[in-house]
Structure 1
Amino acid sequence: MNQDGDVLKSFTVDNNLPGSEFLRDQIVALADKHSSQEIQIGMESTSVYSWHPAMFLNEDKELKKRQAKVYTINAKLIKRFKDAYVDLDKTDDIDAWIIADRLRFGRLPLSMIMQEQYVALQRLTRSRYHLVKSLTREKQHFLQHLFFKCNAFRSEVESSVFGNAMIDLFLEKYSLDEIAAMDIAVLADFLKEKSKNRFSDPEGVAKCIQKAARSSYRLSKCVEDSVDILMATPIETIRSIKAQIKQLDKAIERLLSGIPNTLKSIPGIGPVYCAGILAEIGDIHRFKDQASLAKYAGLTWSKHQSGKFTADETNMIRSGNRYLRFYLVEAANSVKNYEPEFRAYYYKKYHEVPKHQHKRALVLTARKLVRLVDALLRNDQIYTPRRKVNR
């Protein structure tokens, strides 16, 4: 399509290397034929399916000579633009026409094309994100089975259910009566051995476990055997996922060491959070300012205003990069534990409302962190805490 909206050519290509090369040749030929001063290539952002053609067209030498710009546009934005037209069918040809017309319209959104080092890092951090979500689900399943097995355990025992000693105790498939009748010294020795002496008071923990066993409902042998099997399954899955996360963390740290950045100078932000944020941002200069970065992360709130009325309560936008939002929120939760300024800000926001205090305060703290992240990356600056002046 040219700038006047006239369709110059329409054809179909396969989503593979030969298909992209053919598409490149057609674009170059048409640009030369019509003496085009500007080339814009647009496609819907469809996860892994759009990544290869987008990277190929972005890095192609012939297209670079002509300063072609490649845009991967959110499918929701394309749909909203299409809604402005009346009664258009849903076909591949029409969808391609809509994307081309959106490019002609201008005011284009930020292109998501990033350098390869950020893409490699992004693959690792996004995989880690999904593993963390899977780990959370498996732990929830395990806790449900644990309540069947020993419903008083979590109220009586303060130690983590997912520590090595506790996990090994559950895998032994002891009945509640066997645990309750076990000699305290024997149970304490078991805990010391499995935890590698990490319990400060193993006998005290052993007494709490026995109290929980005595206070819990008893199951029939049939049901208890089934629950033991159900408890063992998520335990093995949890251990496997933890091992995979540990392996990814090492790979992330290795790759991150080759990407210069100043985010690790912020107290509480280690290699994983740093990598997760950098992988989604890429080059900070792709963003106009910290506000556009916050919007990209989905850490902004919609406005509701009409005339002299402005709503006091508004919802956070539902769009945005969920991975960047996740790592910013997790990083903010860590930073507030190390940095007094962020801790004070978190508790200030925490006490402003009676409901959803932690969630609201944490998201607002993450929004504050966006400003810091933007400033450090944009200015290539090391984080320096604000100095307090004694009076």
Structure 2
Amino acid sequence: WAVELAAKNEKKQIVLGLEPTGHYWFCLATWMIANGISVVQVNPYAVKQTKEVEDNSQLKDDTKDPKLIANLVKDGNFGMPYLPEKVYAELRRLSMFREQLNEDRIRAINRMHREMKIYFPEYKEALGRVEGAFSLELLKQTPFPEEIQTLGEEGIRQIWHDAKLRGRGYSRVREIVGYAKTSVGMKDGAEASAMAVKWFVKEIRELDEKLAEIEKLMREKYQEIPYAKNILEISGIGENTLSGILAEMGDISRFDDVKEIQKLSGLGLVACSSGKHKGETKISHRGRKRLRYWLFQAAKSAVAHAEEFKELHVYYTTRADNPLKKMQSLIVIACKLLRIIYGILKNGTVYDPKKMLRDIRRPEKKEVIAA
């Protein structure tokens, strides 16, 4: 019907305006583009903000929305959709699966903690690192004090020995049994709760295996991107962080300038000023939040492990003119890392920490001459 309507009105181009919600638009947009129809996106926030301009009413429904979207498209208030292709599509999907599995793992751990706090409140002091291999192996078989006392020190050692665990975990056996003997945890309902804890431990281990498999695939995929390995020369940026950044950023050849990626990540600076009022400058938080997350993680890691970024962080937070707060400094460093990554991928350059420090513009120190 769209083609017929365009033909009747002697129009040669059809533009489909979408308000993208969830995953419902992917197949439609791909099919439209394959058939020569232009597809553009309208920000749902823009639709929401303009709903009262249309008819001075707060009403927003499926009858009113198409007209709002059409008017925004007509006025040029739209963006072009980006659907990753080839290796970037694979990385994006793997990154999404990794995020979902991490959420499931955190949920399982929190549920396990809840049961342990009720029936073995001293478990953190007894076990140390609860998500460690020694702790999970014990919790998989005997999570609560009565069972631990029945096993005794030799029984716990035997469990770890059968699992072929090696390390310093054996030294905690006496402490674990001691805490189990003096535990003030509840007794009623312990049998059902112990079964639940064993389920959660099994789920955590299965999720760990799946995460390891996905991260291995992501490492293999990012290596297909030209010059991506050069980014690992930056101390603090590991393979998991790099694959996360590349998955969310996509093909950089579609960007003319690194500021476009900065805006995409929500790290662009915005301020609300009027007349004499000067509003506080902050980042927009608009765009791909996962890209912003991975860039921030990269900045934190680089400051912790790379001497040049540590020096830069100290300079930003202690300079005489306009010193930054620590969080602000990390945001600035995240933007700097983004420019470095963009330069490496665009030009195939090799990372040079000395050149990076030389490129930072610093105000010249004024000499004070006594009269």
What is the root-mean-square deviation in Å for CA atoms of aligned residues? 3.5
Give unpaired runs (5+ residues) of structure 1. Answer: 1-10, 12-22
C-alpha distance in 1, partners of 2:211/2:5?
43
Residue 104 of structure 1 and its aligned partner are, at CA, apart by 2.3
C-alpha distance in 2, partners of 1:324/1:295?
11
Q: Percent identity?
A: 22
C-alpha distance in 2, partners of 1:209/1:148?
17
Q: Name the counterpart of 2:322.
A: none
Distance 1:236 1:376, change over 3 A: same
**Mapped contact 1:184–1:203 kept (Cα < 8 A):** no
Match of 1:165 among 134, 138, 142: 134
Q: Name the counterpart of 1:273.
A: 241
Once the two structures are superposed, the pairs formed by residues 22-101 of structure 1 within 5 Å of their partners are 23=2, 25-26=3-4, 29=7, 33-34=10-11, 36=12, 40-60=15-35, 63=36, 69-87=38-56, 90=60, 92=62, 94-101=64-71
Q: Name the counterpart of 1:329.
A: 296
Residue 76 of structure 1 and its aligned partner are, at CA, apart by 1.5
Give unpaired runs (5+ residues) of structure 2. Answer: 320-324, 359-371
C-alpha distance in 1, partners of 2:91/2:314?
33
Give structure 1 regions of 4+ aligned residues with deviation exceeding 6 angstroms: 347-352, 357-361
C-alpha distance in 2, partners of 1:133/1:247?
16
TM-score by length of 1: 0.74
**Mapped contact 2:126–2:176 kept (Cα < 8 A):** yes
Name the count of aligned residue pairs: 349
Once the two structures are superposed, the pairs formed by residues 1-391 of structure 1 within 5 Å of their partners are 23=2, 25-26=3-4, 29=7, 33-34=10-11, 36=12, 40-60=15-35, 63=36, 69-87=38-56, 90=60, 92=62, 94-106=64-76, 108-158=78-128, 160-173=129-142, 175-180=144-149, 183-184=152-153, 186-194=155-163, 196-197=165-166, 199=167, 201-220=168-187, 222-262=188-228, 265-266=231-232, 267=234, 268-312=236-280, 316-345=283-312, 363=331, 365-386=333-354
Distance 1:329 1:285, change over 3 A: same
Q: Name the counterpart of 1:16.
A: none
Q: Greater CA deviation, 276-285 or 174-183?
A: 174-183
SS of the equivalent of 1:47 reads coil
SS of the equivalent of 1:71 reads strand
Q: Deviations over 1:130-172 (max 9, x none)?
A: 11122112111212222223222223543x2112321121122
TM-score by length of 2: 0.78
Distance 1:264 1:379, change over 3 A: closer
SS of the equivalent of 1:306 reads coil
Distance 1:382 1:129, change over 3 A: farther
